[in-house]
Amino acid sequence: MLGKLFKSILEQDTSPIVVCDLNDIIVYMNPTAKRIYHKDLTGSNLKDCHNEKSNEMIDKVVSWFKESRDHNSVFTFYSRKENKDVYMVALRDNYGTLIGYYEKHEYRNREAAGFYEPVR
């Protein structure tokens, strides 16, 4: 049951979520990510979607994640166009072992919907 609840959280999130394993293979994209990136890249290598400099930074962050179970989130960039911060976040198992990572988007725009109104 818990697995279904977690999957539903990912599926309903209005921010793109792209989850990778430690081989940089995209293992999950939520519907928002598929829509924003215009395709389902599940099974592809994340590094095939980035330039050399970005790939170096991905490697650097993953290495930092591996150094300590307390290393779990890195601010990667700010998008002025979308007014959002983007982070790389470590994914760990019950023992604190790094098992993957994902990209987290935090939008700075105030919600346009009123209180208790549907969000579109």
Q: Are 78 and 102 in contact (CB under 8 A)?
A: no
One DSSP character per residue, the chain reads: -HHHHHHHHHHH-SS--EEEETT-BEEEE-HHHHHHTTS--TTSBGGGGS-HHHHHHHHHHHHHHHH-TT--EEEEEEETTTTEEEEEEEEE-TTS-EEEEEEEEEE-SPP-SPTTSPP-
pLDDT at 113 over 90: no
- Residue range 2-107, CATH number: 3.30.450.20
The answer on pLDDT for 2 being more than 90 is no
Average pLDDT, stretch 65-74?
A: 97
pTM of the full predicted structure? 0.88
pLDDT tens-digit map of 3-45? 899 899 999 999 999 999 999 999 999 999 999 999 999 999 9
